[in-house]
Structure 1
Amino acid sequence: MKKTELVISGIILIAVIIGGVLLLKKTPDTNNENESAPSEALSLHEKAARYKKFVEISSPDGFVNTNGEPITIESLKGKVVLLDIWTYSCINCQRTLPYLNDWYEKYRGEGLEIIGLHTPEFAFEHKLSNVEKAVKDFKIEYPVVLDNDYSTWRAWGNQYWPRKYLIDIDGYVVYDHIGEGAYAETENRIVQALNEKKFREGVVGTLKTPTDDNPISFQTPRSPETYFGSLRNDSLANCVCQTVTKCDCLTDTDIIPNKLYLDGAWNITPEYAESMSADSKIIFKFRAQEVFLVADADTEITAKILLDGKEISSGAGDDVQNSSVKIKESQLYKLIKFDETEDHILEIVSPNGLRAYAFTFG
């Protein structure tokens, strides 16, 4: 009996020792989970070798959502900063704004700051009052800086709307994304940078990275962005100009896809084409799911929207009512919205006074 008891006691002792060893191995992963450095965190030496430092905002032309006070990236040192280069009439920029607003609401209290660098594409986007209205309309609460002279745009070496640069707590640009999409990827990088900030500050706990995304795919061919002004208009197909700007335009019977046709008298300036006769027409054979027009007028005008020669009914965009669109404010107007990509001939019939800047397609 004593021998048996001794054997049993030995087995129990061994089990206790093994259990203790296993417990010791497991303890660091559970109790100290929030105290270890984030796996993606790099040393300052590694960051310097891999990333560039941020470029400061240069000669700003105005501020929105800052209570009239100037803002710099340097003044936000110690925070994670997302610099978003945009312009308010750009549809690609507009589609990213709900994500930016959501991130600002979710992570502002965790140390994220967003700066919207508004670099204008058209002259009317230089006006502070127009930018202020757009910021209000899009429900943007983060600071917006006007970059009317493109000095900050050029300093960053940028060529795109929109573009996002993520700056970490050490001032390094750790992420760069051009255009729309990659929203989960961008948010993941924001969370990684914020978790590094929390670790460095000794704050217990980490933010969870999102797993869902709403990717935007442009794999289906669509019509290209098309400008009306002479500086960037390489698609005008049918106008005869007596002077640099005053043109008479007659519509060809055979409309070529992705070529811009004007009908009537038009004044073509470097930035826009202005209708100079009653019932002037814009004609464009497009392939897209959505069609947008950047336009304005001194006084409100009503333009008729035709699709394949008939007044539009189904497929009308948000700004079209009863086959017509009212145009005055300098902005992007939503003309067409289908459930999928389609091919059609769009006609815009307008009185004189319409200034058309660009078509964009989605």
Structure 2
Amino acid sequence: MLRLDQQLGRPVLVEFWDFCRPNSLRTLPYVKAWHERYAAAGLRVIGVHSPGFEPSRDNAAARAAVARLGVEHPVLLDPELEVWNLYENLGWPARYLFDQRLTLVDYHYGEGAYAETERAIQELLGIERDVVAPLRPEDDPDALIAAQTADQPGAYSGPYEAGAVWAVLDGRGEVVVNGRPVAVEHPGAYPIVVHERHTEGVLDLRVGAGVTCHAVCFTPGVVGV
């Protein structure tokens, strides 16, 4: 078992995430990039998969998601939220950066602050290089972002404001989104509507046989692009 107290002498980044949470999936490419960029220099990245939806409580589904998403750094499965509670964690995603003495030096809840985290990693490792460029317009620190509609439980249909709409789905079959079929092949968060910018829209979501929709989630978009 990979234990934090066994990592003395190297910086450690702990990332709480859930493969059914859109915000976790949107942050994951940065975490993977930091592992790829800095593991050889001594950084240890540890994912803690703490479920927020019923499908992600299944360890087999979580392992399949780790493989499907190409996660190469170690991931601890936390189905009973034991590690989550130990950290008194507040939400998804959340990252904690510890120095070589395992002293907490930086933390962040939610999306964003990617450049700040990477620069903190570089400082601990004594490395200077360009940070990972923003992967989406709304990730730019100078981007103007409007508040999106709050996440809705179940198979929500109705008005919304967001940069994208996601559905947390389980089972096998399909859902129909504003008349367009979307195949469901595994449990997880599916982007069902993607806009180029913050948009006001109306969602019509029909859930087919064999599929359960646990929630509809909304992620931000930039304003005025």
Q: Which residue in 1 is equivalent to 2:150?
A: 224
Q: Which residue in 2 is equivalent to 1:304?
A: 176
In the alignment, does 2:92 pair up with 1:161?
yes
Which structure 2 residue ranges, 5 or more long, are not aligned?
220-225
The amino acid across from 1:335 in the alignment is I
The CA deviation at 1:344 is: 1.8
Q: State the identity %.
A: 27
In the alignment, does 2:119 pair up with 1:188?
yes
In the alignment, does 2:194 pair up with 1:337?
yes
Q: Which residue in 2 is equivalent to 1:115?
A: 46
Taking structure 2 as the reference length, what is the TM-score of the superposition? 0.88
Structure with bigger RCO (C-alpha 8 Å, 6+ apart): 2
Which of 175, 178, 184 is matched with 2:109 structurally?
Answer: 178
Which of 21, 26, 32 is matched with 1:95 structurally?
Answer: 26
Taking structure 1 as the reference length, what is the TM-score of the superposition? 0.56
Q: Which residue in 2 is equivalent to 1:279?
A: none
The CA deviation at 1:213 is: 4.8
Structure index of larger Rg: 1
Residue pair 1:81, 1:166 contacting (<8 A) in 2 also = yes
Q: Give the whole-Å Cα distance in 2 for the aligned partners of 1:212 and 1:328.
A: 31
The CA deviation at 1:342 is: 1.6
Task: Give per-residue Cα distances to partners, 1:47-67, cap 9 Å, x unaligned.
Answer: xxxxxxxxxxxxxxxxxxxxx
Q: Which residue in 1 is equivalent to 2:169?
A: 295
Change in Cα spacing, 1:139 to 1:167, as seen in structure 2 (3 Å) is: same
In the alignment, does 2:184 pair up with 1:346?
no
The CA deviation at 1:303 is: 2.6
Residue pair 1:188, 1:210 contacting (<8 A) in 2 also = no
What's the secondary structure of 2:215's corresponding residue? strand
In the alignment, does 2:160 pair up with 1:286?
yes
The CA deviation at 1:352 is: 4.0
Change in Cα spacing, 1:194 to 1:340, as seen in structure 2 (3 Å) is: same
RMSD: 1.8
Q: Which residue in 2 is equivalent to 1:6?
A: none
Q: Which residue in 1 is equivalent to 2:223?
A: none
The amino acid across from 2:42 in the alignment is G
Q: Give the whole-Å Cα distance in 2 for the aligned partners of 1:302 and 1:148.
A: 27
Change in Cα spacing, 1:133 to 1:283, as seen in structure 2 (3 Å) is: same
The CA deviation at 1:353 is: 3.9
What's the secondary structure of 2:34's corresponding residue? helix
Which of 208, 212, 215 is matched with 2:128 structurally?
Answer: 208
The CA deviation at 1:218 is: 7.0
Count matched residues.
213
What's the secondary structure of 2:39's corresponding residue? helix
Q: Give the whole-Å Cα distance in 1 for the aligned partners of 2:211 and 2:67.
A: 25
Residue pair 2:145, 2:198 contacting (<8 A) in 1 also = no
Task: Give per-residue Cα distances to partners, 1:233-278, cap 9 Å, x unaligned.
Answer: xxxxxxxxxxxxxxxxxxxxxxxxxxxxxxxxxxxxxxxx7xxxxx
The CA deviation at 1:211 is: 5.7
Q: Which residue in 2 is equivalent to 1:144?
A: 75
What's the secondary structure of 1:110's corresponding residue? coil
Task: Give per-residue Cα distances to partners, 1:20-70, cap 9 Å, x unaligned.
Answer: xxxxxxxxxxxxxxxxxxxxxxxxxxxxxxxxxxxxxxxxxxxxxxxxxx1
The amino acid across from 1:220 in the alignment is A
The amino acid across from 1:182 in the alignment is A
Q: Give the whole-Å Cα distance in 2 for the aligned partners of 1:137 and 1:178.
A: 25
Q: Give the whole-Å Cα distance in 1 for the aligned partners of 2:18 and 2:96.
A: 16
Higher strand share: 2
Change in Cα spacing, 1:218 to 1:149, as seen in structure 2 (3 Å) is: farther
What's the secondary structure of 1:208's corresponding residue? coil
The amino acid across from 2:157 in the alignment is I
Superposed, 1:63-102 pairs within 5 Å as 70-102=1-33
Q: Give the whole-Å Cα distance in 1 for the aligned partners of 2:190 and 2:203.
A: 14
The amino acid across from 1:222 in the alignment is Q
What's the secondary structure of 2:116's corresponding residue? helix
